[in-house]
Amino acid sequence: MKIFGNHWVTEPLKSGMVMYKLENDKVKLRAPEPSDLDLLYIWENDPEVWLSGNTITPFSRFILSKYLETAHLEIFETHQLRFMININNSLGKTIGTIDLFDYDSFHNRCGIGILIADKTERRKGYASASLELIIQYGFEVLGLNQLYCNIDVENMASVNLFTQHGFEVVGIKKRWTRRGSGYVDEYLLQLLNPAYLK
């Protein structure tokens, strides 16, 4: 049985297969549940979140409930995967989401995005702990060749978060995102799976 780093928990199953738990000392990543509808409705309709997600219209409860009905499908079917981020303590408070999106099975790559929606829980290391887990999941479980993300050049907190985890800024998309009457540039960052570099 393989243990991924110091933070990956594995449990043997009766069939001999291994079940992976996405958790470390700070966070647990879990699948979305129908009970998350109210939280997601608030988060997805926050204009601040729209800026980072390039959303321009609100989400209805109906659309979000339909999403939750299919959230159990594998990334190979939907080309996306969302985890809810819970603080790993006795309360288990849900504070945000981390997403894999635009999964490309031919080129073996996937985009990644993270949101600590609960503003009172930002700058406490939860985003970093979640990113560490999802990188391990992407490379060790999904076998991805690379992960990438797109970050507004003005969002240096996110740039620093990803570069601290090995992502490299590989380009700038000029005037990529509209902001009011103007446009801002966006960084493209990549993290290559070292297993494929040998």
Span 112-124, average pLDDT = 93
Question: What is the structure's pLDDT at 54?
Answer: 59
* Alpha helix positions (H), 45-195: 47-53, 61-70, 75-78, 126-136, 156-164
Span 169-173, average pLDDT = 97
Calpha distance 108→117 (Å, rounded): 29
pLDDT digit string, tens, across residues 123-162: 999 999 999 999 999 999 999 999 999 999 999 999 999 9
Coil vs helix vs strand at 78: helix
Coil vs helix vs strand at 9: strand
CATH code of the domain in which 76 resides: 3.40.630.30
Structural domain contains residue 159: no
The least confident of 12-26, 86-100, 112-126, 183-197 is 12-26
Q: Which domain holds residue 90?
A: 9-145
Structural domain contains residue 85: yes
Closest C-alpha among 146, 147, 162, 155 to residue 176: 155
> Using 50, 70 and 90 to split pLDDT, how confident is the model at 16?
very low
- Report the number of distinct structural domains present in the chain: 1
